[in-house]
Structure 1
C-alpha cells in the first residue's frame, strides 16, 4: 500500500506531502489544477518513462519520495532480495532529478538503478485509464489477464518446464547432428589416417631410439675400415708377430749376453701382453661396428616414415599414438552415430509428447476460464449500463512456446447485431473504461497487495452509470487501496478519503497543492463538481444526498 508521497520542486509543485489511506482515495479538482502532475511524480519515483523535464523552474533539483507498506509475502520483497537491497516491511523509494538532466535513485537508502525501480513498480502499482495500454489495448497482455483469472500457477509452471526440457532435447539433437555431420565430412580422411597409423604403429620414444641407432650405424660405416686396418697391424701379421719374433731371437742369445737382455725381454713380454689386450679391444670394437646394411636401410625407412607422418598431422612423433587414439574415438562416434541419433530423436519425441500434453491441458483450462471470464465480465457490465454489450475472450492456437500454444484476444460488440472486434477499435473511451473496470473487478483477488490507480476512468459517463463505476471502484478498494482521479461527483462521493487538487498563484509563481477535505469541505467540492464555479443550495443538497449514499 502507498502510505506517503513526498514531492519537492517538481513542475509547479514546490513541496507537497500526501498521506494516503487504505480503501478508496479520491482526488478531484478543476482541469489543469495539477492532478496529472501527481501521477507524473509517482511515475518518476517508480522509474516509469515520462516527461523529460520535471524540475521546477528556478530549482536545482526535483525530488520525489514514496513510502509503501509491504505485508508479509509481498512480491516486492523478492525483488529487493534479488537486487541485494535491504528488506523490510517498509519500502522507501527516493529519486532525484537534477536540472542538468541527471537522475539518481535510492531504495531503502541504498543506491539503485532505474531498472530495479521498474521491477519494484510492477509489484506495487497498477495505473489504468482510458488509454491503458498494458491490459486491454495491447493484445500481448490479454493472455496474462486470462491467466490471472485462471489462477492455476502449477499449470503454467509445468508448461514452462516441459518447454525448457523440449528445447534442451532439441538442442542436444542439433548439436549431435552437427557433430556427426562434421565427422562424416572427414570420414574418408579418418579411415585412411587411422589405417596408416595402425599400419605404422609408432610407439612413444621410438623416434629417438631409431635416430640414435641410425647415427651409430652411420658412424660405424665411416670408421670400420680404419679400425680393421689397425687391427691387422696389431695382429700376428703385424706388431704382435714382429715382437714375438724379436723375443724369440733375444731369448736365444740372452745367456750369452750375460743378463744384459733380461730386462729387455721382460719389457717386450709385457708389451706383448698389452698389445694383446689392445688388439682384443679393437676386435671387440670391430664386432660392435659390424652391422647389416639392410638394418641401416630399415632403420632409416621407419624413422623417416614416423617423421613424415608427424609432419603430415602436425603433431610431434611421440604424440602420434595419442593422435591415433583420438581419431579412432571419432570413428567410433561416427559408427555409433546412428544409434545416438536414434536415441536423441526419441528423446525429442518424448519431450514433445510431454510438452504437448501440458500445453493441451493448459489450453483446455484457458478455454474453460475464458467462458467463465466472459460470464463474469458480462455480469459486471449490466450495472455499468452496458447490458447489451458482448465481451468475448478468444483463445486460438499459435506457435508453441513457454506459455503454451495459445493466443488470447479480447473482443467486444457494443450493440446488438454489430460485429465483434478489438477493444480499441470498437469501444469508445467511456465504454473502454467500463470494460476495464469490469475486468478489474473480476480479477480483484489477483490484485491483492497492489495499489490500483484509475486516471479519469469515469470520463464520458454520468448519472447511474457513474454511480455504478464508483461502487465498483469502492468494491475493488475493499481490503486494498485504490486511487482515483475523477471529475465525477458520483464517484467522488463514494471515496473513503478525499483530496482536492488546487492551483494558486503565489508571489507571481503558479503552484499546485493538494488539500485533504473534511466533511463540510467535501460537500462543497462535490457540489462544485455538480454545478460548476457557482455552488448553489440545490447543488449542496445533491452533494449531501450523494454522500449519504
Structure 2
C-alpha cells in the first residue's frame, strides 16, 4: 500500500506531503489545479517514462519520495533480492532526485539503485490506469500477455520458451551440418587427392630439419673427400709418396754414414722419427678417408624426400612440420563427408523431436489460453452488468499465429456494445464512456487475486454521469475493499463514494503559482462535491444534493 508521497520542487509544487490510506482515496479539483502533476511525480519516483522538465523553476533540484507498507509476502521482496538489496525492515522507501541539468539518481531505502530496479518494483507496487490506457489494454500486441497473466500460465510459457530454444538449436545444428557437408562435397576431389599425397609421404614432425642436416653433412663429405684422398696419396704413394722418399733418403744416408764420422747420425735419427710420424699420419688420413665415404644413392634419397616435404608445404601453404596436422584436418573433413549422411539423419531426427516437443508445449499453452479466455469472458460479463452495460458483449479471440517463444497464438480482446452489432477492437467500437467502463471491468478482472497492488485510476469515469457514474464509483468502492485504490475524478458521484478525500488546488503567492493538496473533513467534502455539481457558484441546492450523495454513499 502507498502510505506517503513526499514531493519537493516538482513543477508548481514546492513541498507537499500526502498520507494515503487503505480503501478508496479520491482526489478532486478544478482542471489545471495540478492533479496530473501528482501522477507525474509518482511516475517519476517509480521510474516511469514521463516529462523531462520536472524541476520547479528556480530550484536546484526536484525530489520525490514514496513510502510503501508491505505485507511480509509481498512480491516486492523478490524483486529486491534479485537486485541484491536486503529486505526492508518495515517500510519500503523509494526516493528519486532530478537536478536542474537533468541528471537523475534513485534510491531504495537510501541505497542507490538503477531506474530498471525502480520500474521492476513499480510493476508489483502500483498500477496506473486511465482512459488513455497507458498499460496496454487497448493494444492487441499486449493482449496475449494479459490473458496469460490472468490464466496464470507462467509455467506453460516457460516450457514453451524452453522448447522453442531447443527447436532453434536443433535447427541451427542441422543447417550448420548441411553447410559443412555441402562445402566438403564441393572439395571432395581435391581432399581425396591431397590426403592421398600426404598419406603416401607420411611426414613426421621435425623430419625436415633432420633431413636438411643429413644432406648438408653428406654434401660436405663429398666435397672434402677428394682432398683427403690426394693427401693420402701424397703420403703413401709407392712411386713418390712422402713415406717412400723418406725411406730412400734414410737408406742413402745409412749407406755413407760410416764414412761421415758420425756427422749423419742425427739426420738419420730424425728421419727414423719422421717415418714413425708419417706412418701415424698415413693411418689417420686413411681412417678419415674411410669415414668420409658417401653413398650417392643415400644422398639422392635424402634430397628427394626433403624436396618432397618442402614442395607439399609450399603447395598447401603450411610449414613442413605442420603437414601431419594438416593431413589430419583434411582427413577430418573427409570423415565429415563420409559420415555426413548418418550425421544429417541423426540431426534431422533431433529436429523432428524438438519440433514435436515444441508443438506439444505450444498446444498445451493454446488449450490453457482457450480455457482462460472462457473464464475471462464470463468474468467480464459479470463485471459489465453492474456498470450498466449488461447488453454489451466482451470476447477473447484466439487465432493461429506464427510459432515463436510465446507460442503460436494471437490473442485479441473484442467487444460488441449492442446485441447484433459486429464485434471490433475496444478503441474502435466503444464510445468514451463505454470505453471507460470496459477498461474498468477489464482491469478488475485482470487484477483479481493480486495482493498488495495499489490501483490508480486517472479520470476513468470521464464521459459518464448520473446512474452510470454512480455504478462506476460503486465498482471502484468495491474494488478498494480488498486493498487500496486512488482515483482522480471530476465525477461527484464517484467522489462521494471515497473513504478518503483530497482537494487539489492552485494558489498564487508573490506572483508564484503553487499547487497544494488539502485533506477534506466531512463539511469540506460537502462544499467540494457541491462545487463539482454546480461550478464556481455553490448554491444551497448543490450543497443539499452533495449531502444526499454522501448520505447514500
TM-score, scaled relative to structure 1: 0.93
Find the counterpart in structure 2 of residue 470 from structure 1.
473
Distance 2:137 2:482 in 1: 24
Q: Secondary structure at the match of 1:457?
A: coil
| Cα deviation code 1:174-212 (max 9, x no counterpart) | 333333333334333322222221122122222122212
How much does 1:73 deviate?
4.1
How much does 1:534 deviate?
3.8
How much does 1:333 deviate?
2.6
* 1:227-266 pair list within 5 angstroms: 227-237=228-238, 238-248=241-251, 265-266=268-269
Q: Secondary structure at the match of 1:383?
A: helix
Find the counterpart in structure 2 of residue 277 from structure 1.
280
* 1:281-300 pair list within 5 angstroms: 281-300=284-303
| Cα deviation code 1:88-136 (max 9, x no counterpart) | 1533222223333333333332333433333332222211111104232
- Give the paired residue count: 549
Find the counterpart in structure 1 of residue 62 from structure 2.
62
Find the counterpart in structure 2 of residue 453 from structure 1.
456
Distance 1:260 1:202 in 2: 73
User: Contact (CA 8 Å) 2:254, 2:268: kept in 1 or not?
Assistant: yes
Find the counterpart in structure 1 of residue 305 from structure 2.
302
Find the counterpart in structure 2 of residue 45 from structure 1.
45
Find the counterpart in structure 1 of residue 10 from structure 2.
10
Find the counterpart in structure 2 of residue 410 from structure 1.
413
Q: Does 1:322 align with 2:316?
A: no
In structure 2, stretches of 5+ residues that fail to align are: none
How much does 1:419 deviate?
0.8
* 1:200-239 pair list within 5 angstroms: 200-237=201-238, 238-239=241-242
| Cα deviation code 1:45-92 (max 9, x no counterpart) | 222222232222333332222122333343333433444445415332
User: Contact (CA 8 Å) 2:74, 2:451: kept in 1 or not?
Assistant: no
How much does 1:264 deviate?
5.0
User: Contact (CA 8 Å) 1:134, 1:141: kept in 2 or not?
Assistant: no
Find the counterpart in structure 1 of residue 23 from structure 2.
23
Distance 2:426 2:332 in 1: 63
How much does 1:359 deviate?
0.4
Find the counterpart in structure 2 of residue 500 from structure 1.
503
Distance 2:177 2:477 in 1: 60
User: Contact (CA 8 Å) 1:130, 1:430: kept in 2 or not?
Assistant: no
Find the counterpart in structure 2 of residue 424 from structure 1.
427
Distance 2:331 2:283 in 1: 54
RMSD: 2.4
In structure 1, stretches of 5+ residues that fail to align are: none
Distance 2:207 2:512 in 1: 97
User: Contact (CA 8 Å) 2:47, 2:116: kept in 1 or not?
Assistant: yes
User: Contact (CA 8 Å) 1:105, 1:111: kept in 2 or not?
Assistant: yes
How much does 1:266 deviate?
4.9
User: Contact (CA 8 Å) 1:44, 1:95: kept in 2 or not?
Assistant: yes
User: Contact (CA 8 Å) 1:411, 1:420: kept in 2 or not?
Assistant: yes
How much does 1:509 deviate?
2.5
Q: Secondary structure at the match of 1:382?
A: helix
Give the direction of change, closer, same or farther, for the CA distance of 1:121–1:343 in structure 2 (3 Å limit).
Answer: same
Distance 1:537 1:40 in 2: 36
Distance 1:60 1:247 in 2: 125
Distance 1:242 1:353 in 2: 106
Q: Secondary structure at the match of 2:6?
A: strand
Q: Once structures 1 and 2 are overlaid, which stretch shifts more, 257-266 or 379-388?
A: 257-266
* 1:52-451 pair list within 5 angstroms: 52-89=52-89, 90-237=91-238, 238-248=241-251, 265-451=268-454
